[in-house]
Amino acid sequence: MPTSVAQALFGSETFPRLVTALAAEPDRRFTTGELEARIGASHDSTFRALQRAVVTGLVARERVGRQFVYCIDASSPIFPEIKTLLSKLSGPAEALRRALAGLGPPEVEAAFLFGSAARAQDTLASDLDVFVVGDVSRFALARQLAGAERELGREVNAMAYPRRELIDRLAAGDGFLHEVWGGPKLMLVGREDGLPAAVRVE
Amino acid sequence: MDAEAVDFQRRLAEVARADDSLKQVGARAEVAVQKLQLARRWAHRASTLATIPEFADDPDFAFASMYQAFQDAADAFLCAHGWRPGGDRAHQRTFQLAAAGLHPVDPETATHLHESERTLRQARREIAYDRTGVVSRRDLQDFFALAARVLPALGRRTCDVVEFSPAPADLVDWAIPDLA
């Protein structure tokens, strides 16, 4: 059974994420590796989604040296409709990334979606849970994300903890943090391997 | 009461016609001042908890106490106009209505309250029902900065509306520490 509207429509989570990521930066060409990191999918899954996207005409492929690069083909006759559909279905991550782009380190070192949206089990009415590693308050985050919240029509619950505090809490066995760290994450800022490690100190 | 208070009172009565969870308060001046004194006491507790070393590793405690000060101060402000929300979502409605009522006399502070009320309620709900270690020191710092602005504004306006004059010094100056 599909676990989300996007998966039910497109047959996979990777395809809509891929097209959304490419459409967010229409002037940029991506390597497969860059796309894998951007959408948090495996090499095989990304490769299959790229092949399908090229067949639909939504994505153009070009050889540069020994590798292929990909970009959105905005001239595709179905591109405007697909983009609108994706902004409703797969838009949260991109909208949140744009909203967080105004805050760099030390306020925002890394950020990710967790909970139902990261598990791809969310509905269009689900809240979006955002976790930020950085020195910023949840009040400042709420202000920063207010525009994205309006755009998406969904409530965003954001929390932030400084890296040092996170390391201490993870080491002390904080149950909530270990649950978040052990679950799926959809990275919005930074990379998952850059997050503090979930090491318990007995 | 001044024109703004009379107008807000009329708007609350209109809301109450469509929503029976908004209840009329009898002795509005007495109830409002008592609520305000209660809020002042919670703010003092929160300030003490936030600044003594024994509770330095538990910002949730000071946050929850300051939240109670917000709740009581907003409640006092609505009671001064003769109404108070009850039932489900009472906290949400108290904050939202207080922000709406404060707006004509102090738009900037009202906007701060309006923009922050959901964040406040979310954190307080997690603290009360879900887990420990909800808020960071940075959250507490920003919350106290908001409190230093919102609570005296609600206090002053509540005293004005019930014509409690001169307003006691401790309901005008809330002595909320700057945690930055």
Final residue of a domain: which of A89, A124, A157?
A89
Mean pLDDT, residues B35-64 taken together: 94
Q: What is the mean pLDDT of chain B?
A: 94
Residue A129 has pLDDT above 80, yes or no: yes
Q: Do A138 and B146 touch (CB under 8 A)?
A: no
Q: Which residue has the tokens 């070393």?
A: B53
Task: Judge whether B180 lies within some domain.
Answer: no
Give whole-number Cα distances, B51 to A51, A95, B37, in Å: 60, 38, 21
Q: What is the mean pLDDT of residues A51-57?
A: 94
Asked if residue B14 belongs to a domain, the reply is yes
| Cα–Cα distance measured from residue B147 to residue B176, given in angstroms and rounded to the nearest whole number | 7
Structural domain ending residue among the three candidates A27, A62, A89: A89
A187's CB contacts (< 8 A; 6+ apart) are: A40, A110, A111, A112
CATH number of the domain at A29, please.
1.10.10.10
pLDDT of residue B69 exceeding 70, the answer is: yes
The residue that leads in pLDDT, A94 or B78, is: B78
What CATH number corresponds to the domain at position A130?
3.30.460.10
Number of structural domains chain A divides into: 2
Query: Residue B179 domain-assigned?
Result: no
In a domain, B147, yes or no: yes
Mean pLDDT of the region B32-44: 96
Tens-digit pLDDT profile for residues B150-170: 999 999 999 999 998 888 888
Cross-chain CB nearest to B136 (options A155, A162, A176): A162
In B, minimum Cα distance to A158 occurs at B119
Domain region containing A153:
91-194
pTM of structure: 0.77
- Predicted pLDDT at B165: 82
Regarding whether A95 and A189 lie in a shared domain, the answer is yes
Give yes or no: residues A55 and A114 share one domain. no
Q: Identify which has the larger pLDDT, B157 or A20.
A: B157
Average pLDDT rounded to a whole number, residues B71-93: 94
CB nearest A136 (choices: B131, B138, B146): B138
Q: How many domains does chain B have?
A: 1
Q: Is residue B139 part of a domain?
A: yes
H helix or E strand, kind and range, residue B46:
helix B28-51
- The answer to whether residues A135 and A166 belong to one domain is yes
- ipTM score for this prediction: 0.87
Q: Is B4 on the interface with A (CB under 8 A)?
A: no
In DSSP notation, B138-157 reads HHHHHHHHHHHHHHHHHHHH
What is the overall mean pLDDT for chain A? 87
Does residue B178 sit within a domain? no
In a domain, A161, yes or no: yes
Chain-centroid distance, C-alpha B152: 10
The domain containing residue B17 runs over which residues?
A: 3-172
Does A17 have pLDDT greater than 90? no
Structure tokens at B21: 């969870």
pLDDT of residue B162: 93
